[in-house]
Amino acid sequence: MKSVLPVIVAGGAGTRLWPLSRRSYPKPFLTLPDGETLLGKTLQRALMLPGVERWLTVTNREYYFQTRDIYAQYAKNGLVNANFLLEPEGRNTAPAITAAAFEAAANNGEESLLLVLPADHLIQDQEAFAAAVANAATLASEGYLVTFGVQPSRPETGYGYIEAGEALVLASAEVGFAVRRFVEKPDASTAKAFLVDGRHFWNSGMFCMRADVFLQAMERWQPALLNGVREAWEKGRRSSDFCEMAADFATLEDISIDYAVMERAENVAMVPAAFTWSDIGSWSAFGQLMDLDDAGNRVLGESVVQDSKNCIVHGQVRLTALLGVDDLVVVDTPDALLVAHKDRDQEVKKIVTELKRRGHESFDLHRTVYRPWGTYTVLEEGPRFKIKRILVKPGAALSLQMHHHRSEHWIVVSGTAKIVNGEEERLVLTNESTYIPAGNAHRLINPGVVDLVMIEVQSGEYLGEDDIVRFDDVYGRASQ
């Protein structure tokens, strides 16, 4: 098999899996019932392909540290072979893949074979996956823009479809099909017809192409977008393992690779995928990963289910009890509860849209928020006060910062804290505390080898997360 460069695209919000998936902690990072993440599984799948050592990830700059933390669990040689393209704001797959093509051409050569893998797909059969990639790489080497089509197993109305044309034969072997057309998400009757005709495949959203061939297609079909991506990429801030694209990237057209190029180009091919595939795009799909009981219920977390059938229950903290109900999705998180009929689980994103319209923070944040240095969890809040649990990883440090409107009390629960408070610098040990007045420049550091856990009590007239002025930050975050 020709060697490919995996390009992992990790940018989607996964709104149909709310309240578990949110903008600041989207679907690829969620812990699945088996304890792994979709992002981790995607990397693991890519690294098992023959000849793959390096990989490129396109993601939002806010996910950089979370992504590195997950990758560290799977990369045998650490992250020396990982490179990142960081977006200031997601602009869909066409700009993301264009930036990846520029980066690959510059670092690996213009004829680099890109294997584009969304970070939120679940594929079970590694051997069949590798065989499909080998066929796609063969076609891509010949100048095709290759997509992967999944044989439908049901009349699915939530996916786009690809209609296969004539067979493509290279070196006396059939390796794929020309693409006759792309089809939007169909209605139920059309989906049933697609299921039986044998010519229509689910559009998986995975691609394989040479970097130069794709950039030529962008030059023909999307010259303005191509130039905009090139400029944002060239002006980007670079480090040893990442390129943070310039802010201009956020102004580019929000358009998918399908609309931008694949539906227009003549050199588009499809490789049939013989593996089980899911984009885990709904709670029904997520439920398939959970154990099934005799009544058809799928339950994760502590629960009591009585006289209820075909329900999906996902609990995190509290006990969940169901009595006398059927066909429900119940998802309980510390700050939000979803109750929906299973037949309408594709519409959960409507709730997220409404929350965003209202400015409700639950469309964006969980009670536990991940930061480069660790996490914080909001335990309780009310008028003029907020209580947080803060965990700082060994060797990590928060930014040197100041708040205009709030003061803070810090109580060390476990570990040792090194604090900077105005002109003072000292250690705060377990069961000790300190006070940070509003307006004081301060910093929190964990100098130890175990996690530092603290309770922070904020008080003041305004307690929003945007009341922060950063003077110095080891993670390169801009001041807010």
Query: The domain that contains 466 carries what CATH number?
Result: 2.60.120.10
Among candidates 265, 258, 310, which has minimal Cα distance to 284?
Answer: 310
pLDDT of residue 478: 62
Q: How does DSSP classify residue 334?
A: S
Assess whether 222 and 143 both reside in one domain.
yes
Assess whether 273 and 420 both reside in one domain.
no
Whether 405 is in a domain gets the answer yes
Question: Six-digit token pair at 442?
Answer: 């301060």
Whether 342 is in a domain gets the answer yes
Assess whether 138 and 108 both reside in one domain.
yes
Assess whether 126 and 258 both reside in one domain.
yes
What's the burial of 230, exposed, middle or buried (CB within 10 Å: 0-12/13-18/19+)?
A: middle
Phi, psi of 435 (to 5 degrees): -125, 130
Q: Which one-letter amino acid corresponds to residue 20?
A: L
Assess whether 383 and 297 both reside in one domain.
no
Taking only the tens place, the pLDDT of each residue in 173-209 is: 888 999 999 999 999 999 999 998 989 999 999 999 9
Secondary structure element (H or E) that encloses residue 96, with its range: helix 93-108
Assess whether 218 and 343 both reside in one domain.
no
Assess whether 409 and 334 both reside in one domain.
no
Whether 479 is in a domain gets the answer no
Assess whether 175 and 287 both reside in one domain.
no
- C-beta of residue 431 within 8 angstroms of C-beta of residue 414: no
CB atoms within 10 A of CB 461: 11
Question: Six-digit token pair at 331?
Answer: 């998802």
CATH number, domain with residue 266: 3.90.550.10
Number of domains within the chain = 3
User: Rounded CA gap, 328 and 338, in Å?
Assistant: 10
Whether 352 is in a domain gets the answer no
Assess whether 428 and 462 both reside in one domain.
yes
**Residue-range definition of the domain harbouring residue 325:** 283-347
Assess whether 226 and 341 both reside in one domain.
no
Assess whether 413 and 273 both reside in one domain.
no
Total-model pTM: 0.89
Question: Six-digit token pair at 165?
Answer: 């044309």
Whether 363 is in a domain gets the answer no
pLDDT of residue 1: 62
Whether 214 is in a domain gets the answer yes
Whether 357 is in a domain gets the answer no
Residue where one domain finishes, among candidates 278, 293, 323: 278
Residue where one domain finishes, among candidates 347, 380, 402: 347
Secondary structure element (H or E) that encloses residue 453, with its range: strand 452-460
Assess whether 338 and 430 both reside in one domain.
no
pLDDT of residue 156: 87
Whether 193 is in a domain gets the answer yes
10-residue stretch averages of pLDDT, the chain, 480 residues long: 90 85 91 93 95 94 91 80 93 96 95 96 94 96 96 89 92 87 91 91 96 97 97 94 94 95 95 91 93 95 96 93 97 95 93 94 89 94 96 96 96 97 95 96 97 97 92 76
The string of DSSP letters for 421-466 reads: ETTEEEEE-TT-EEEE-TT--EEEE--SSS-EEEEEEEEES---TT
User: Rounded CA gap, 94 and 260, in Å?
Assistant: 7
Residue where one domain finishes, among candidates 278, 294, 329: 278
